Amino acid sequence: MSEAYIVEALRTAGGRARKGGLIGMHPADLGATVLNALVERTGIDPGAVEDVLVGCVTQGGEQAFAFGRNLVLASKLPDSVPAVTIDRQCGSSQQALHFAAQAVMSGTQDIVIAAGCESMTRVPMGSNYQLHSQAGFGIGPWPQSIQDRYGVADFSQFHGAQAIANKYGFTREAMDQYALASHVKAAAAIDSGAFKGEIVPVQTPEGVFDTDDGVRRGGTLTSLGEVKSLEEGGTITAANASQMTDGASGALVVSEAALKRFDLTPLARIVNLTVTAGDPVIMLEEPIPATRKALDRAGMTLDQIDLFEVNEAFASIPMAWLKALGADPEKLNVNGGAIALGHPLGASGTKLMATLIHALKTRGGRYGLQTMCEGGGVANVTIIERL
């Protein structure tokens, strides 16, 4: 089987939903900014791109009607370039990367862009089905057959995150400490210029936006402890959960033949692509068995991985992952995670990949592993080798 290589991985800075620097951007224009940057920075012929795979969770409103295709039409790519939109919940653009790599590894295509975009300001989370319900159309995503099978009326990520915290015995203080550390690491990364190579500046109506604006500096355990829990008597709060964020990201994936044809220098080689699924009620624990399966299929051990990116949907998720696998916390989310930098849903997959690749380069690491929990009890794992 042929190899698949990542020759560039980029993201926009994260803008706080409803309050941040990207609220004035139509999501198609926001995503197009990343597509343009991938082509410009690699110098590849834009007409040579064979497909654009775009992750997006809330496909409604400004993110409806062939959203991936609209990114292409809003970009400098020729309209001969096709596109498709992918929904694997929070892992949508990580799955886009998997599909892109699989197309290249199979020999079907040589040059594919995997991307993601989500404006949680302009298309609020859940609005694609909540508005239907409010208008009296249908009963929602879960028919009675599913409700009866799993004994629930719906599936809640908040309930899942709390269930995991309870299962692993994480206290409110421990999760707040984890959250505070995420902000500290993210602030340090911004101050040191660690994100410079991965961030695409965005020209907004208010000016150029190029710095993650959700990072809270000067926070304390006391201030985090004052935030109300999401559930009565619970320990999950907005302070130890990911921030709702606007953003876009993408990666250019190519074959060895394309490397030679366009004189491209690869940043990383795809080592393993894994996706698994499990309990949809606890929902967010699946990165643990998915990581075990990915390492087994790659013939690797956790000690061989230099850096981990585990999405901080809630503090309990990476904490459970660390505890269950016995991983080194010093290798985890070294530049902060979604608690500080935000979680723009469909964009988070290739966002984390951009951060992982650039962090490996800065630190001289060789192997990186990325995983995230996803709605429905699914998880993707990607292992890469920095070149």
Percent of the chain scoring above 90 in pLDDT: 99
Does residue 373 have an active-site annotation? yes
- For 166, 228, 243, the CA distances from 233, given in Å and listed in that order, are 12, 10, 22
Q: Residue 203's closest CA among 29, 333, 75?
A: 29
Confidence tier at 335 by pLDDT (50, 70, 90): very high
Mean pLDDT within 213-220: 95
Instruction: Give the up-direction half-sphere exposure of residue 62: CA atoms within 13 A in the CB hemisphere.
Output: 20
Distance (Å, whole) CA 89 – CA 323: 25
Please say if the pLDDT value at position 274 is more than 90: yes
What mean pLDDT comes out for the span 360-373?
98
What are the CA-CA distances from residue 259 to residues 83, 264, 334 (Å)?
22, 5, 30
User: Could you read off the pLDDT of 126-138 as tens digits, one per residue?
Assistant: 999 999 999 999 9
Give SS3 for 134. Answer: helix
Decide: 100 and 39 in contact? Cβ < 8 Å: no
Q: Residue 118: name the closest of 340, 351, 335 by CA.
A: 351
Active site residue 358: no
HEC-encoded secondary structure of 72-127: HHHCCCCCCCCEEEECECECHHHHHHHHHHHHHHCCCCCEEEEEEEEECCCCCCCH
pLDDT for 219-267, tens place per residue?
999 999 999 999 889 999 999 999 999 999 999 999 999 999 999 999 9
Does residue 125 have a pLDDT over 80?
Answer: yes
Is 90 part of the annotated catalytic residue set? yes
pLDDT at 370 over 90: yes
Distance CA 311, CA 338 (A): 6
What is the model's pLDDT at position 59? 98
Q: What is the DSSP-derived secondary structure letter of residue 140?
A: -
- Average confidence (pLDDT) over 294-312: 98
On whether the CB atoms of residues 183 and 189 are closer than 8 A, the answer is: no
Catalytic residue among 98, 183, 343, 358: 343
Within the chain, strands assigned E span: 5-11, 15-16, 51-55, 83-86, 111-119, 202-204, 207-209, 245-254, 268-277, 307-310, 367-374, 378-386
Identify whether the C-beta of residue 62 lies closer than 8 Å to the C-beta of residue 25. Answer: no
The DSSP bridge partners found for residue 244 are: 343
Q: What is the mean predicted confidence (pLDDT) over 170-199?
A: 98
CB atoms inside a 10 Å sphere around CB 191: 9
Q: Cα separation of 345 and 349, whole Å?
A: 8
Catalytic residue, chosen from 56, 159, 183, 373, is 373
pLDDT for residue 3 is more than 90: yes
Residue 35: which of 261, 252, 358 has the closest Cα? 252
What is the residue-averaged pLDDT of the chain? 97
pLDDT in tens, 62-112: 999 999 999 999 999 999 999 999 999 999 999 999 999 999 999 999 999
Cα 210 versus chain centre, distance? 18
- Reported as a single tens digit per residue, the pLDDT across 36-59 is 999 999 999 999 999 999 999 999
Half-sphere CA count of 356, side-chain side, radius 13 A: 36
CA-atom Rg of the chain in angstroms: 20
Q: Identify the CA nearest to 120 among candidates 269, 14, 32, 197.
A: 14
Q: In this structure, are strands 307-310 and 5-11 parallel, antiparallel, or unpaired? A: unpaired
Nearest to 320 by CA among 185, 105, 175: 175
Q: Which of 103, 164, 91, 86 is nearest to 380 (CA)?
A: 91
Query: Among residues 56, 90, 98, 159, which one is catalytic?
Result: 90
The pLDDT of residue 1 is 74
Q: What does the alpha-carbon distance between residue 115 and residue 184 come to, in Å, rounded to a whole number? A: 28
Q: How far apart (Å, rounded) are the C-alpha atoms in residues 327 and 343?
A: 23
Say what the pTM is: 0.98
* Residue in the block written with tokens 């985890």: 332
